Amino acid sequence: MSKYDVAIIGSGPGGYVAAIRCAQLGMKTAIIEKYSTLGGTCLNVGCIPSKALLDSSHHYEDAVKHFEEHGIDIPGEIKVNLKQMIARKQSVVDQTTGGIDFLMKKNKIDVYVGVGSFKDATHITITGEETTEIEAKNTIIATGSKPSTLPFIKLDKERVITSTEALKLKEIPKHLIVIGGGVIGLELGQVYKRLGAEVTVVEYMDRILPTMDSGISKELNKVLKKQKFKINTSHKVKSVERKGDEVIVKADNKKGEEVTFIGDYVLVSVGRHAYTEGLNVEAAGVKLTERGKVEVNEHLQTSTSNIYAIGDVIKGAMLAHKSEEEGVFVAETLAGQKPHIDYNLIPGIVYTWPEVASVGKTEEQLKEAGVDYKVGQFPMRALGRSRASMDLDGFVKILADKSTDEILGVHMVGARAADMIAEAVVAMEYRASAEDVSRMSHAHPTFTEAIKEAALAANDRALHI
């Protein structure tokens, strides 16, 4: 029987990063993955393939709607080749997962393909093409999450689908109904909207992106409506029925009236739930919460001291980069170091266009906590760079402490917001004030000038509005 210092169950961003850091720190490491490719949801059926389709569909939309204005004339009809688009997406996935294979070999990490199941706290049975047992001094559970549904919805994975199926459709929907106005629903909704589908979003809460700053929700709602999305908030879905190639969704609006939506595809994107199936955690004495997540303490240690858990399977935001930070955190804890994660400074991003990005506290959270704050906001359309690229929608908003000027939250909608948010994370990690950021030189013309201007605006000194 092979013996390891640490075994990681699950090879998503949390799991494979934990494995690499453990190996770097001199531990004999194994990683267990039930699928034939490494990388978990993120690399195979999540972050990476969805961004590939978002990029491809964005190019198509630019060609159809904006090239002429730029002085680019394309003779004949511009057509979508969905088969090629999906094939390109898959090649991006294959290259990326292949990169993880390389990293495992480079770091001398043993890879086991099969379902990892606890026999006891130090032994794991791996059931794949054959059954293997290994011994691990420590184990990290990194089994991730799966798409959630509603109890009355039957997912047939043909017409009533999750994000996994939406990434490999054989045709462009005529009318895609998206249940859930969160990150995944809006991103995939935008992919198919660009390609010609009619898209209707049905959201239970009173706004899209309900967990983000309300100013962001309002701005993106306005932009998506301009893009001809049909957005229905405060709608409680009560039935989803497929009849042949048609899907009928019934919901109650905020007045309690029944509303019917008819489309040819329904994307159910109502969040995700922790995935622990087959782990047999009971055998290792690992406790789960009422909601099925693995219970952990501040060291990410489970109820069994030599077993840790990270990523989507535990509490907190279900984000690949949060999982990675936790993977490094546990590896360094096992090595006797004293790592730290500030969960307030893990950014959240929506890869629609314009992009949405956020870090720190929202206005709602600051009001609820009774914090005195000030707001500096700057519109993207006031930037020369935005006019040059015709990306005029959105803004950057900085929330700062009224007395100390420390930055408490940064929220943005706009071109390249996903990349720009890193500046806000760095500033907040070093407890910068709005004035600190406003006094740093920002290259001109760039989108990041909006951050400088918002910081100036927090002290009533914006230059370009």
Q: 272-274 and 246-252: which strand pairing?
A: unpaired
Give the residue-averaged pLDDT of 323-342: 98
Of all residues in the chain, what percent carry a pLDDT higher than 70? Answer: 100
390-424 pLDDT, tens per residue? 999 999 999 999 999 999 999 999 999 999 999 99
Q: First and final CA of the chain: distance in angstroms?
A: 69
Contact 86, 7 (CB under 8 A): no
What is the predicted pLDDT for the residue at 237?
Answer: 98
Q: How far apart are CA 140 and CA 172, in angstroms?
A: 40
168-184 pLDDT, tens per residue? 999 999 999 999 999 99
What is the predicted pLDDT for the residue at 454?
Answer: 98
Contact 342, 429 (CB under 8 A): yes
Q: How far apart are CA 89 and CA 101, in angstroms?
A: 19
- The confidence band for 268, taking pLDDT boundaries of 50, 70 and 90, is very high
Contact 237, 180 (CB under 8 A): no
187-220 pLDDT, tens per residue? 999 999 999 999 999 999 999 999 999 999 999 9
Active site amino acids: 444
Contact 100, 18 (CB under 8 A): no
What is the predicted pLDDT for the residue at 429?
Answer: 98
Contacts of 411 (CB under 8 A, 6+ apart): 212, 213, 215, 216, 357, 358, 362, 396, 397, 399
Q: What is the pTM of this model?
A: 0.97
What is the predicted pLDDT for the residue at 408?
Answer: 98
345-361 pLDDT, tens per residue? 999 999 999 999 999 99
74-108 pLDDT, tens per residue? 999 999 999 999 999 999 999 999 999 999 999 99
Q: How far apart are CA 349 and CA 193, in angstroms?
A: 20
Give the residue-averaged pLDDT of 320-340: 98
Measured in degrees and rounded to the nearest 5, phi and psi for residue 356 equal -125, 135
Q: What is the 3-state secondary structure (H, E, C) of the chain?
A: CEEEEEEEECCCHHHHHHHHHHHHCCCCEEEEECCCCCCHHHHHHCHHHHHHHHHHHHHHHHHHHCCCCCCCCCCCCCCCCHHHHHHHHHHHHHHHHHHHHHHHHHCCCEEEECEEEEEECCEEEEECCCEEEEEEEEEEECCCEEECCCCCCCCCCCCEECHHHHCCCCCCCCEEEEECCCHHHHHHHHHHHHCCCEEEEECCCCCCCCCCCHHHHHHHHHHHHHCCCEEECCCEEEEEEEECCEEEEEEECCCCCEEEEEECEEEECCCEEECCCCCCHHHHCCCECCCCCECCCCCCECCCCCEEECHHHCCCCCCHHHHHHHHHHHHHHHCCCCCCCCHHHCCEEECCCCEEEEEECCHHHHHHHCCCEEEEEEEHHHCHHHHHHCCCCCEEEEEEECCCCEEEEEEEEECCHHHHHHHHHHHHHCCCEHHHHHCCCCCCCCCCHHHHHHHHHCCCCCCCC
Contacts of 172 (CB under 8 A, 6+ apart): 80, 82, 192, 195, 196, 197
Contacts of 447 (CB under 8 A, 6+ apart): 380, 383, 385, 386, 391, 414, 415, 416, 417, 420
Q: 29-33 and 2-9: which strand pairing?
A: parallel
- Which of 267, 417, 411, 409 shows the shortest CA–CA distance to 351? 417
What is the predicted pLDDT for the residue at 215?
Answer: 98
The number of residues making up the chain comes to 465
Q: How far apart are CA 227 and CA 186, in angstroms?
A: 12
